[in-house]
Structures are given as C-alpha cells and as structure tokens.
Amino acid sequence: MSGIEAEGLSKRFGTLTAVDRLSFEVKPGEIFGLLGPNGSGKTTTVRLLSCLIAPSEGSARVAGFDIGREPLKVREAVGVLTENPGIYDRLSAVENMEFFAEAYGLRDRAERDSRIRELLEFFDLWDRRGERVGTFSKGMKQKLAIAKAVVHRPEVLFLDEPSSGLDPKAAKDIRDLMEGMSRQERHTIVLCTHNLEEAERLCSRVMIIRKGAAIATGSVEDLRRKLHGAPELEVVLDEVDDRLLRATAKLEGVKAVNASAKGTLVYDLDDPEARTPDVVRSLVQAGGRVRSVNILRPSLEDAYLELTEGEST
C-alpha cells in the first residue's frame, strides 16, 4: 500500500495549534494538492507525515507504515523536496546522486550506478553529469533535487513548491515529470503549492487548509460545484431579442436564461455539456447568429480565494 491515511492528525507548539485534527486519504499513485495561505500548516503537515516531527495527537499511515510506531520505515519509504533543493554546488550531478543514494542505503555499486543513470537520463541531465552543480540553471537544480529525492524509489513523494521561481519552460518540464512519476512509476505525490493553475492541472484532488484545519477537500470540480453550483452556458450573438429568449427558455434542462450583456445570453442548465447542442440549435433555427459558445466554470483560484478570503497567501 503506497498511499496515505491520516486520522485526527494534530500538532501543537506551546499554545499554537499548527495542525488541527486533519483527516484525509491519498490514494496510491495519486497527485494530491495541499493548498493554503502562508502559515496555514502545510509544511507542518508534510513534516508530520514524513516523520521529521511527531504529532501531538492523532495517527497516520504512510506507505502502509504507522508514523508513530514505525518512523524509520516511513522515512525509508518517502522522498521529500523542500523549497531549498538541498544539493551541493561544489559536487557534480553524479557526485550529488552518489552521496544521497548511499545515505538512503543503496549499497550495491552496480544497482546504485544503474539507478543514477536512469534518473539523470529521465531528467535530461545525463549529458551534464560530470559538471559542478553550481553551474546549473535553477530548473536543472530543481530536477536534480527531485531526482535525489526519488533515488531510493520511495513510494510516497512530498514536493513543496517544486516549480517556484522557474521560467515557463522549466516549470512545464517539472509538471510533465510529476505527471510521469505518477502515471508511469506510480509514485504517490503530495504537492504543496501556491500555483493554483498548476494544482488544477495536476491534482486529482486537493485539500485546502486554513489555520491548520481542513476547510475543503475534493476534486476541483467538487469544489466548484460546492461553491458555485453547476457551470453556466454563455452564448454570444450578433443581437438578442425576445424571440430568441422565448425559443430557448422552455427547452428541456433550461432552468433560467438571462441577457447578461449586449448580445450575450447566459443559461443555467441542469447539464451544460449535454444541453448545449439543443440550445445552440434552437437559437440558430430562431434566426440567431451565434458568434461564440462557452461553458463558464469557476477556476480553482475562485474557489480558493472564496474559502480563504482575507488571508495572505
């Protein structure tokens, strides 16, 4: 079992409750987003789950191991990338990988060399393997940091802001690599990020936390519907008149229709994807000249900002 199960997980530092009774599950091979403002408890949660600190209350199992009774086994089963890559600029890429591979217990030389080559090729760093890391770009350093975090084939990977500060191409490379690690190598990934577009693109589910407590958990679509209801259909026409409104107002599945701006109709439908062709067909048959059709979905950013209103990110 390579997922995560947390039940009532809490951490207090004196009078401060950093993590407050978190309960959630991350499925094997899933990319799970952990979102929240600065100081919300994301990093503390990762530190608890990777056994860097002990909980004040509650329990969790990571990769099948209990964080309270089997912390050493948990540490062996996880990889962690912090905001600081934690690699050595004066060493080459290969020397960095060899150092961390030995630290993680890869003693067999042939196995270690094979794994290092596999990862450096996977991350497009093999041709630069002998160069000092201090000469690498930030994106290359970030790839190397992820490579060293997975050198021991961890079942669970914690990534803290993996694309922060990278240029668009390097950030895309990192996203592609995360998707590959999840789909091809079946790593379970917990992604802590402020990049909501990245979370929306990569994560099958997210948990938004505030002041250490979970305020919403589910897929992006779940959060959209919870906060905003079903998506709406927007149709832009050359002109809008009562004839077009009447032609579509009584169609099956149309709950309401409003003229929101000049030449624009917005429909509240029970199933926008299924009903859109009927609405457009009726408008055209009634003489409407359709210029564009869009299904309006609130973004994860909309949901996040509504849930964390008034707090700094």
pLDDT of residue 10: 97
Helical spans, DSSP H, in 89-167: 93-103, 109-122, 138-149
Going along the chain from its start, the domains and CATH numbers come out as 4-225 (3.40.50.300), 232-296 (3.30.70.100)
pLDDT of residue 82: 82
pTM of the model: 0.76
In this structure, what token pair is assigned to residue 219? Answer: 């897929």
- Helix then strand then coil, in percent of the chain rounded to 5, is 40, 30, 35
pLDDT of residue 259: 87
- Which one, of 307, 277, 271, 305, lies nearest residue 293 by Cα? 277
Report the chain (313 residues): mean pLDDT per 10 consecutive residues. 90 95 95 90 93 95 96 92 87 96 90 94 92 93 90 91 80 83 86 85 92 89 70 89 88 88 87 90 93 83 71 51
How far is the C-alpha of 102 from the C-alpha of 109, rounded, in Å? 9
pLDDT of residue 277: 94
How far is the C-alpha of 234 from the C-alpha of 264, rounded, in Å? 7
